[in-house]
Amino acid sequence: EPEVTQTPSHQVTQMGQEVILRCVPISNHLYFYWYRQILGQKVEFLVSFYNNEISEKSEIFDDQFSVERPDGSNFTLKIRSTKLEDSAMYFCASSESQGAQPQHFGDGTRLSIL
Amino acid sequence: AQTVTQSQPEMSVQEAETVTLSCTYDTSESDYYLFWYKQPPSRQMILVIRQEAYKQQNATENRFSVNFQKAAKSFSLKISDSQLGDAAMYFCAYNLMNRDDKIIFGKGTRLHILP
């Protein structure tokens, strides 16, 4: 069964540095998402992406965050200048369509900011 | 406000027994999807079961079934004949039908299976 894959599985970065988290969505999916889960807390929506543009974003997704689909397969989340509170598990998800079809999640990338 | 509440942070069940995980949610909308996702130690979030709010019949998937009470905004998950592989964090969630992209998650219930 096709899967959403995320790399790396664990990223350790110094505070203030830029970090890029990578995701390869399922190939025939058109909608892409990023969520994060701070340790011990609920999974929170960050952003959704469709047709090469952001379709919805949460208040967490401020100017430090950006997303990109640089080619036909990858979907990236960039954090420009990381803060300690960015430490979390970041999940990528994809779906065939909006709402009607379920979102398929990747394994997540654990981001640790030192 | 759109929220999902899972009141049981942790639960334990004996192998082969039945367990019910509770979930309540709050929305003013009438059309939405409800989900239970499973997150085992391997970390991948796996969709266990999905319910369309307009359907009165409770969804079932093999040993997994839900008790959907729309008026009470309740969506519990029943796992029958619990197996060791069912041990995981279970998240209740929903999203609006054909509108919002985002899934709203609860905080999760960690389920332990006792051999």
Q: Which pair of tokens denotes residue B87?
A: 């041990």
Which candidate in B2, B39, B45 is best for mutational testing of the A interface (most A CBs within 10 A)? B45
Tell me what pLDDT residue A14 has.
96
Distance CA A2, CA A104 (A): 10
Distance CA B82, CA B61 (A): 14
The proportion of chain A whose per-residue pLDDT surpasses 70, expressed as a percent, equals 96
Q: Which pair of tokens denotes residue B112?
A: 């332990």
Rounded mean pLDDT, A5-21: 96
Residues from chain B contacting residue A100 (CB–CB below 8 Å): 97-98
Rounded mean pLDDT, B58-80: 96
Distance CA B71, CA B66 (A): 15
CA angle B99, B23, A59 (to 5 degrees): 45
Cβ separation of B96 and A99 shorter than 8 Å? yes
CA distances from B90 to A5, A68, B107 (A): 21, 30, 9
pLDDT at A71 over 90: no
DSSP SS3 for A64: coil
What mean pLDDT, rounded, does chain B reach? 92
